[in-house]
Amino acid sequence: MIPDPSSKYRAFPPVSLPDRQWPSRTLTHAPVWCSVDLRDGNQALAVPMNVSQKLELFDALVRCGFKEIEVGFPAASNTEFAFMRRLIEDGRIPEDVTVQVLVQAREDLIQRTVESLKGVRKAIIHLYNSTSPAQRRIVFGLEKPQIVEMARKGTRWIKERLPQLAGSDIRLEYSPESFSATEIDFSVEICRSVIEAWEPTPERKIILNLPDTVEVAMPNVYADQIEWFCRHIGNRDSLIISLHTHNDRGTGTAATELGLLAGADRVEGTLFGNGERTGNLDIITVALNLYMHGVAPGLDFSNMSALREVYERCTGMHVPPRHPYSGELVFTAFSGSHQDAIRKGLAEWQGKGPGAVWDIPYLTIDPSDLGREYREVIRVNSQSGKGGVAYLLESQFGIELPKDLQREFGPLANDAVDSLGREVTGTELKAMFWREYVERRTPLELHHFHADGVDGSFRCRASLLQDGGEIKVSGEGNGPIAAFVNALTATGIPPFEVVDYRQAALGSGTEASAISFIRIRTNDGRLVWGAGVNTHIQLASIEGVISALNRASL
């Protein structure tokens, strides 16, 4: 990097729009969506998709609800042409879906494109030529009038060939490619020329696609360009203003949302943002941004995992784990305080019943709306707190730890996880709890226990193993646990008292187990938890007492 970047780079000039209106607007409805995965996304792949892969992804896009899909550049290669013909001849295009094809403003390419569309029900021919000063100077070596004439000729060539597609519903889309880097008044000039040649009406609108082909400015500048264009273009009721943003500055989503506020009607993009350089707009992100504000997006991503699998299989690309809404880790909290807040928020929301407004800390959207499960929300590593530990045990195994036991076990679990140096599963976490509490059988292990009683008076007999030898005890109390405590202290075990007792079922049916949580206070004032599991409720509580005693002896 150079010390003074201003000697090499220049900021993009702002648009003069002192009375801009877009900052005070709110998005209240979804735009028309057009997927360009099969064309713009496909050309960005190191190994482009074959026909079979494109067919699979096309079907996935249809299932998502896309009504406009740019399927390719039929004049560019035999594969692209063959794919277009396959869609038409095999009847794979649903009646409510319009396919879109891209073509440059060249007569031979336009003729080939028209041939690819014969027999189609509905199609958009997407005509483009580049308009920015750098493209005019470096690529074409042409002045503005010649660039305008190129667009006019392309439009006329398409219009002249419409009789070859008699019976088909054909619309025109025109893109002044590199719009974002083009003088705004020249963009209006060339688009007016195309409008004049095509002669759209309010019933037969033309699509004017204004691409942020390369991000050269902040997204508010792009919004100003869109609003300025919409104000000055004229014939607005005969136009559909479309956006096509890229992500060179990392602000493609913001540019699209601000462009919609500025007056655009339509959005082109790809699943997960696949595209050249840093990628195209991720349509999923913008659609779900609307959804989480209560606006129906008109697209269905309720099985996000399956959609991601199709995308990765067809494109060879990988969705990053932190990708908005769709990444593996986006509904995951490792931070202990985050986990605790999520767990409490979910409990409150579920308690409110159907129709409750979603308001969960750290989760802007309900994972289940995207086919994800709550158990995916909280995972545990060395950074996790008691909340995450408790949530996994409760959500996966129905083990609801008392609050004070959460505080005791949480740090113990974190120490164990820290020594592993990785994330742990719910099964591993349960095994840690079992080792620490349920399977704590030294120095004492229960061998036999029996208790009976009437009118609040119980007597128990028990045998325990200690250091290989058997100890027989008996005692009385107002319940089985009290009788057992008295029996133990009578044998010389230091006095202790049970200060907390909880019990819950694990599973259901005749083979269900009970789990008990017992907290004792030792004669030196320490509070220690134990846990016992048994198919017999009474034995589970007695084993919990022994677990606490064994842990207190450490």
Whole-angstrom Cα distance, residue 551 to residue 429? 19
What average pLDDT does the segment 286-290 reach?
98
Task: Look at residue 388 in the predicted model and tell me its pLDDT.
Answer: 79
- Within 10 angstroms of residue 111's Cβ, the number of other Cβ atoms is 16
SS3 state at 212: strand
Between strands 496-506 and 513-522, the pairing is antiparallel
Q: What percent of the chain has pLDDT over 70?
A: 98
Cα torsion 370, 375, 381, 384: sign: positive
CATH superfamily placement of domain 21-315: Aldolase class I (3.20.20.70)
Weakest mean pLDDT among 126-135, 379-388, 419-428, 485-494: 379-388
Task: Look at residue 387 in the predicted model and tell me its pLDDT.
Answer: 77
Token pair in block for residue 198: 């095509």
Which residues, 6 or more positions from 44, have their beta carbon under 8 angstroms from its beta carbon?
Answer: 274, 275, 276, 279, 280
Task: Look at residue 275 in the predicted model and tell me its pLDDT.
Answer: 94
Whole-angstrom Cα distance, residue 249 to residue 238? 33
Q: What angle do CA 545, 550, 553 make, to 5 degrees?
A: 125
Whole-angstrom Cα distance, residue 351 to residue 508? 23
Q: Are 543 and 517 in contact (CB under 8 A)?
A: no
Given a cut of 80, whether residue 386 has pLDDT beyond it is no
Whole-angstrom Cα distance, residue 330 to residue 304? 12
Compute φ and ψ for 500, nearest 5 degrees. Answer: -155, 140
Compute φ and ψ for 246, nearest 5 degrees. Answer: -110, 180
DSSP, res 96: T
Query: Which residues partner with 211 through β-bridges?
Result: 244
Domains 21-315 and 444-552 in one fold: no
Q: What angle do CA 160, 164, 168 make, to 5 degrees?
A: 105
Give 484-535 pLDDT, tens digit per residue: 999 999 888 889 999 999 999 887 665 678 999 999 999 999 999 999 999 9
CA distance from start to end of the chain: 60
Give 443-498 pLDDT, tens digit per residue: 999 999 999 988 888 999 999 998 888 999 999 999 999 999 999 998 888 899 99
Q: Are 529 and 548 in contact (CB under 8 A)?
A: yes
Place of tokens 């005509």: 127
The residue extents of the domains of the chain are: 21-315, 336-423, 444-552
Q: Strand ranges (DSSP E) for 29-109?
A: 32-35, 68-72, 98-104
Q: Which of 414, 420, 418 is nearest to 436 (CA)?
A: 414
Which residues, 6 or more positions from 118, have their beta carbon under 8 angstroms from its beta carbon?
Answer: 88, 164, 165, 168
What average pLDDT does the segment 155-160 reach?
98
Pick the CATH number of 444-552 from 3.90.550.10, 3.90.1150.10, 3.90.1300.10, 3.30.160.270: 3.30.160.270
Maximum alpha-carbon separation in the chain: 106
SS3 state at 487: helix
Task: Look at residue 377 in the predicted model and tell me its pLDDT.
Answer: 64
- Within 10 angstroms of residue 136's Cβ, the number of other Cβ atoms is 19
Task: Look at residue 422 in the predicted model and tell me its pLDDT.
Answer: 85
Whole-angstrom Cα distance, residue 260 to residue 25? 10
Give 170-224 pLDDT, tens digit per residue: 999 999 999 999 999 999 999 999 999 999 999 999 999 999 999 999 999 999 9
Q: Which DSSP helix (H) or strand (E) runs through 242?
A: strand 239-245
Weakest mean pLDDT among 126-140, 324-338, 502-516: 502-516
Token pair in block for residue 1: 């990097």
> Residue 543's pLDDT band (boundaries 50, 70, 90)?
very high
Whole-angstrom Cα distance, residue 228 to residue 184? 8
Task: Look at residue 147 in the predicted model and tell me its pLDDT.
Answer: 97
Token pair in block for residue 66: 């896309």
SS3 content of the chain, % helix, strand, coil (to 5): 45, 20, 35
Task: Look at residue 159 in the predicted model and tell me its pLDDT.
Answer: 98
Task: Look at residue 338 in the predicted model and tell me its pLDDT.
Answer: 87
Token pair in block for residue 491: 């044998």
Place of tokens 């008392």: 402
DSSP string, 250-307: S-HHHHHHHHHHTT--EEEEBGGG--STT-B-BHHHHHHHHHTTT---S---TTHHHH
Weakest mean pLDDT among 284-293, 323-332, 361-370, 510-519: 510-519
What average pLDDT does the segment 110-134 reach?
97
Amino acid at 188: V
Which residues, 6 or more positions from 511, have their beta carbon under 8 angstroms from its beta carbon?
Answer: 535
Weakest mean pLDDT among 109-113, 228-232, 253-257, 340-344: 340-344
Given a cut of 70, whether residue 403 has pLDDT beyond it is yes
> Residue 29's pLDDT band (boundaries 50, 70, 90)?
very high
Weakest mean pLDDT among 330-339, 380-389, 446-455, 493-502: 380-389
> Residue 48's pLDDT band (boundaries 50, 70, 90)?
very high
Amino acid at 395: S
Task: Look at residue 374 in the predicted model and tell me its pLDDT.
Answer: 61
Amino acid at 545: V
Q: Average model confidence (pLDDT) for the chain?
A: 93
Q: Which of 251, 179, 258 is nearest to 212 (CA)?
A: 179
Q: Are 223 and 22 in contact (CB under 8 A)?
A: yes
DSSP, res 333: B
Whole-angstrom Cα distance, residue 266 to residue 30? 9
